A = this chain, B = another copy of it.
Amino acid sequence: MKARIHVMLKNGVLDPQGEAVRHALGGLGFDGVEGVRQGKVIELDLADGTPEDSVAEMCEKLLANTVIESYSIEFV
């Protein structure tokens, strides 16, 4: 069983990394880029029978800083 987790900064939280990427893209001549948001994608290989709600618990406890980040879980 595989789970794919997207962790992104919440809207309204400043994304300095995204700003740096946008600035660098502009410097390379890509001028159509109006905004950049960067986050994490984490793919978990789970043993069969691993309860799906334990993945949300993993996000809450370790994979996402829920104060400034939101996460979404997709089972593939």
Contact = CB atoms under 8 A, between A and B. Distances in A.
One complex includes copies of this chain to the number of: 2
A10 interface: no
What range describes how many residues of A lie at the interface? 20 to 34
Interface string A13-57: 000001001001100101011111111111111110110001001
Given A24-B62, A30-B54, A61-B28, A45 B41 contact: no
B25 A35 contact: no
Contacts of A49: 32
A6 B33 CA distance: 17
22 contacts: A8-B43, A18-B42, A25-B62, A28-B62, A30-B57, A32-B50, A33-B45, A33-B46, A33-B58, A34-B46, A36-B42, A36-B43, A36-B44, A36-B45, A37-B42, A37-B43, A38-B40, A38-B43, A39-B41, A39-B43, A40-B41, A41-B41
